[in-house]
């Protein structure tokens, strides 16, 4: 299949493949905190991401949630329907076949950035259906799925309101509600499969598309160790959160001080400091976790 490079991303490459489709080629690189491509590679990561993505697309098809998926090309590549990325103007309800310029974030358990926000006081637990005046521990379930929106095409993601996303994305509140309904169905179905595989789906992000004739569909990839936060169910029941997703990489850079150094640089308006190298032991363990999730969830063997 002929391919023309459109964009070399932080963790995947995108190619033009015919008139109405593009290829997503996963790589073994990773990105954290919106910094860009890592200096290290994680063996088996690309194959793990694609195996999970394809399984998730199959689940979406089975429950009737439209996606842009066409086919798997090889172990690290899928072909999807192409949608426009429009960033030079606000979109309208007359536009068709475009990526909604927002990240749709769902949260089922307390984890990651929202836990850090609870600890810092930036967010209040009582605003999320949890008891007031007490910081919930990591792994605490929310009483209902939390829906949040952030920007997608800005250098650093920021929170946006439902009114903002409707105004910039050319969608109505009803359109937004339909997207969230699709996402809740997906997270329920993929989360059930992850449970069967031994992992709990804590939270994640999805990309939405207004397709031809304004059909709503899910884009990019979802329910993978890059897009979603996963942990071992057995340990979560004991109050221990052992991450089997990109969160285990983030935690390394939080603990070694890089995240704080990065934030200080950004507060000063300086350039982002480069992502430090991981050591061999860390790379090996991250690779093991990505592959373990992919094999259990997809039912496929990942060879590296």
Query: In this predicted model, what pLDDT tens digit does every residue of 26-52 receive, in sequence order?
Result: 999 999 998 999 999 999 999 999 999
Task: Give the containing element (helix H, strand E) for 264.
Answer: helix 258-268
For residue 173, the 8-state DSSP code is H
Residue matched to tokens 């209040």: 124
In which residue are the tokens 């190619």 written?
15
Q: How far is CA 291 from CA 48, 145, 155, 274, 303, in A?
A: 6, 28, 30, 26, 9
Domain chopping of the chain, boundaries:
4-260+282-298
Could you list the mean pLDDT of each consecutive 10-residue stretch along the chain, which spans 304 residues?
A: 85 92 97 94 98 98 98 98 92 96 95 88 93 90 94 84 94 97 97 97 96 97 96 88 95 96 96 96 98 98 94
pLDDT at 3: 81
Share of the chain above pLDDT 70, in %: 99
Residue 56 · residue 252 · CB < 8 Å: no
Rounded to whole angstroms, the maximal C-alpha distance in the chain is: 58
Question: What is the distance, to the nearest Å, from the Cα of residue 34 to the centroid of all Cα atoms in its chain?
Answer: 12
Q: Integer distance in angstroms from the first to the last C-alpha of the chain? A: 24
Q: Report the predicted TM-score, pTM, of the whole model to 2 decimal places.
A: 0.93
| CA–centroid distance for 115 within its chain | 17
> Could you tell me which of 51, 149, 49, 47 has the C-alpha nearest to residue 102?
149
Neighbours of 177 (CB within 10 A): 12
What integer pLDDT is reported at residue 18 of this predicted model? 83
Residue with token string 């905190």: 33
Please tell me the distance from the alpha carbon of residue 161 to that of residue 221, in angstroms, as a whole number.
Answer: 24
pLDDT at res. 240? 86
Q: Give the span between the Cα atoms of 25 and 249, in whole angstroms.
A: 21
Return the CATH number of the domain spanning residue range 4-260+282-298. Answer: 3.30.470.20
d(C-alpha 30, C-alpha 32), whole Å: 7
Residue 1: predicted pLDDT: 63
The region, left, alpha or beta by phi > 0 then psi within -120 to 50, assigned to residue 52 is alpha
pLDDT score recorded for residue 113: 84
Q: 215 to each of 164, 178, 187, 212, how far by Cα in Å? A: 21, 11, 20, 6
Contacts 24+ apart (CB under 8 A), 30-36: 30/226, 30/246, 30/249, 32/246, 32/249, 32/250, 32/253, 32/275, 33/250, 33/253, 33/259, 33/262, 34/155, 34/156, 34/157, 35/262, 35/272, 35/274, 35/275, 36/10, 36/272, 36/275
């Amino acid at each position: 299949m002929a391919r023309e490079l459109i964009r070399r991303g932080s963790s995947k490459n995108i190619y033009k493949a015919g008139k109405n489709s593009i290829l997503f080629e996963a790589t073994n690189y990773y990105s954290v905190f919106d910094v860009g491509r890592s200096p290290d590679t994680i063996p088996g990561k690309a194959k793990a991401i694609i195996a999970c993505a394809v399984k998730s697309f199959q689940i979406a098809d089975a429950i009737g949630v439209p996606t842009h998926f066409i086919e798997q090309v090889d172990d690290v590549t899928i072909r999807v329907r192409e949608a426009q990325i429009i960033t030079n103007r606000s979109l309208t309800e007359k536009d068709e076949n475009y990526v909604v310029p927002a990240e749709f974030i769902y949260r089922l358990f307390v984890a990651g950035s929202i836990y850090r926000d609870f600890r810092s006081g930036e967010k209040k637990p009582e605003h999320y259906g949890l008891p007031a005046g007490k910081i919930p521990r990591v792994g605490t379930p929310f009483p209902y799925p939390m829906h949040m929106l952030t920007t997608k095409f800005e250098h650093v993601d920021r929170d946006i309101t439902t009114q903002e996303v409707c105004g910039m994305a050319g969608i109505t509140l009803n359109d937004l509600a339909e997207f969230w309904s699709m996402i809740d169905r997906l997270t329920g179905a993929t989360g059930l499969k992850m449970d069967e595989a031994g992992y709990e789906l804590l939270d994640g992000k999805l990309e939405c598309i207004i397709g031809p004739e304004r059909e709503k569909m899910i884009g990019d990839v979802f329910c993978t160790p890059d897009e979603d936060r996963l942990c071992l169910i057995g340990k979560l029941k004991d109050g221990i959160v052992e991450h089997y997703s990109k969160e285990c990489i983030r935690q390394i850079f939080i603990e070694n001080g890089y995240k704080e150094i990065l934030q200080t640089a950004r507060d000063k308006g300086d350039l982002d400091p480069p992502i430090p190298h991981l050591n061999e032991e860390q790379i090996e363990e991250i690779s093991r976790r990505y592959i373990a999730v992919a094999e259990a969830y997809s039912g496929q063997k990942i060879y590296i």
